[in-house]
Chain A
């Protein structure tokens, strides 16, 4: 049987769970690229290239890095900001997992219950999840691959995600920084970011300030 590839969607309404198609999780020091197990170093370069080729590269930080629940969260948040600046990429938060009704503000946030709305609205073609709890990331990754053509990546703090097109594991400040280093290296070699120009949305309690 040929190996199932976790390609960007749309994989139709109910994409198969990649695990059920034989995709396995990487061991420490490895990642998976479209379902193929590869050394982590290869993943950094692949992910960096994908990001630089994208028109709307986007980082989705989740609650584990948005909320100041421990010292490491703050450090990760800093590393994520640096990665976004280096690319450049939009930052769109997944602040919590509540089903929000009647509708989320798809331009400014993403929600695991209907993440496709954010992808469609902003025409996001490459994204990475970081700091999202596993089960919610699984849900969002599957919905995105089901209904959009976005290339999904996961910087997972545990064992990785089969349903992402590319997944790292054991996320840490160092690993986020390594991805940023890979971006800077490619840029130095002459690879230019294809990102459309954008203004990062900024907000306070009284509304948008940028």
Chain B
């Protein structure tokens, strides 16, 4: 990993406001074992955001950024919606696409990056809302999976169109009444994780963002499997507290309720055999690394008299 990407030109560094010096000094780029625990002490993992206070999308964003295996070589593709309000604040390359087009843009981008940088692994990650992923963009989403495009699709599932005031979405639960969908939804929540599995995704995970370590693991696996094998999909429940009438502090409880037994968001994963093999290899490698580090530490310890 390379931290040089976010260093300052020495000749002009002294005119830069303090926050940029701090951004560089606390950056986790290049840090071995970076992860969600760096949130709060590293400026690049979004200090400010422009979402509603307490919106779970904001913490989901942070967990995702902290979990990227190679942030300096990652490009996000976003789409219109509440998520797009955060992209101007992140220290990772990103492209905004026309609403619904995100997986088509990502397909072209990934292929182009492969040609342009044949010797560097460039990860492409789509991050869009449920309206963009499942309704207006479903064609592009699924076609990219059929074609086995090698990138990760992350959907922030808040079960409605939040940014435009609460319209019905395919991922909304049956019977739900939203501000701009007063008649109530009359069909079931679309089962996109199952569709993703059938459409060729090698790794599919659906979970809430209540537990950072789970999110970190799912994102890491999704990105690595997309890099090595083929398309992956992660659906994260990020409830729109504004639309469901919750206070800023209540997002976490809402997610915990939704993931408890019998809830809509009990964590599930679908993993292809090929992807499972890769996960096993990665875990074995990680274990070996930890063991070696432990032994090295032991060897260094002075023998007490």
Chain A interface (Cβ < 8 Å from any Cβ of B): 61, 65-69, 73-74, 77-78, 80-81, 91-93, 95, 97-99, 101, 105, 108-109, 200-207, 209
Contact indicator A91/B88 (Cβ below 8 Å): no
Question: CB-CB < 8 A to B10: which residues of A?
Answer: 68, 74, 77
CA of A98 to CA of B19, assembled, Å: 13
Contact indicator A203/B88 (Cβ below 8 Å): no
Please tell me the size bucket of the interface on B: 20 to 34
Contact indicator B15/A92 (Cβ below 8 Å): yes
Answer whether A68 and B9 are a contact pair too, CB < 8 Å, given A205-B22, A205-B25: yes
CA of A205 to CA of B7, assembled, Å: 13
User: B5 contacts the other chain (Cβ, under 8 Å)?
Assistant: yes
CA of A74 to CA of B48, assembled, Å: 29
In the assembled complex, 8 residue pairs joining A and B whose CB atoms fall closer than 8 Å, in A order, are: A66-B9, A66-B16, A93-B12, A98-B89, A99-B88, A108-B17, A109-B17, A203-B14
CA of A206 to CA of B6, assembled, Å: 19
Residues of A contacting B: mostly: loop
CA of A61 to CA of B48, assembled, Å: 24
Question: CB-CB < 8 A to B265: which residues of A?
Answer: none
CA of A77 to CA of B9, assembled, Å: 7
Question: CB-CB < 8 A to B9: which residues of A?
Answer: 65-68, 73-74, 77
* Nearest-CB residue, chain B, relative to A204: B21
Residues of B contacting A: mostly: helix
Contact indicator B12/A203 (Cβ below 8 Å): no
Answer whether A202 and B4 are a contact pair too, CB < 8 Å, given A74-B9, A95-B20: no
Question: CB-CB < 8 A to A99: which residues of B?
Answer: 50, 88
Contact indicator A66/B17 (Cβ below 8 Å): no
Question: CB-CB < 8 A to B8: which residues of A?
Answer: 66-68
Query: Which listed residue (B7, B12, B22, B89) contacts A91, Cβ 8 A?
Result: B12
CA of A166 to CA of B162, assembled, Å: 44
Among all A-B residue pairs, the 6 with the closest Cβ atoms:
A205-B21, A77-B9, A77-B11, A202-B14, A77-B12, A68-B7
* Nearest-CB residue, chain B, relative to A82: B11
Question: CB-CB < 8 A to B14: which residues of A?
Answer: 202-204, 209
Query: Which listed residue (A80, A201, A209) contacts B12, Cβ 8 A?
Result: A80
Contact indicator A69/B5 (Cβ below 8 Å): yes
Answer whether A201 and B15 are a contact pair too, CB < 8 Å, given A68-B7, A68-B8: yes
Question: What distance in Å separates the Cβ of B1 from its nearest Cβ neighbour in chain A?
Answer: 15
Interface residues as binary, B40-62 with A (CB distance below 8 Å gives 1, 0 otherwise): 00000000101000000000000
* Nearest-CB residue, chain B, relative to A105: B17
* Nearest-CB residue, chain A, relative to B21: A205
CA of A93 to CA of B8, assembled, Å: 12
- Most chain-A CB neighbours within 10 Å: which of B9, B14, B16, B17? B9
Question: CB-CB < 8 A to B20: which residues of A?
Answer: 95
User: B118 contacts the other chain (Cβ, under 8 Å)?
Assistant: no
CA of A74 to CA of B10, assembled, Å: 7
Interface residues as binary, B191-226 with A (CB distance below 8 Å gives 1, 0 otherwise): 000000000000000000000000000000000000
User: B18 contacts the other chain (Cβ, under 8 Å)?
Assistant: yes
Question: What distance in Å separates the Cβ of A199 from its nearest Cβ neighbour in chain B?
Answer: 12
* Nearest-CB residue, chain B, relative to A80: B12
Answer whether A95 and B11 are a contact pair too, CB < 8 Å, given A205-B21, A205-B22: no
Contact indicator A93/B16 (Cβ below 8 Å): yes
CA of A66 to CA of B14, assembled, Å: 10
CA of A95 to CA of B6, assembled, Å: 12
Answer whether A74 and B15 are a contact pair too, CB < 8 Å, given A95-B20, A97-B88, A98-B88: no
CA of A133 to CA of B205, assembled, Å: 38
- Most chain-B CB neighbours within 10 Å: which of A68, A92, A204? A68
Question: CB-CB < 8 A to A65: which residues of B?
Answer: 9, 12
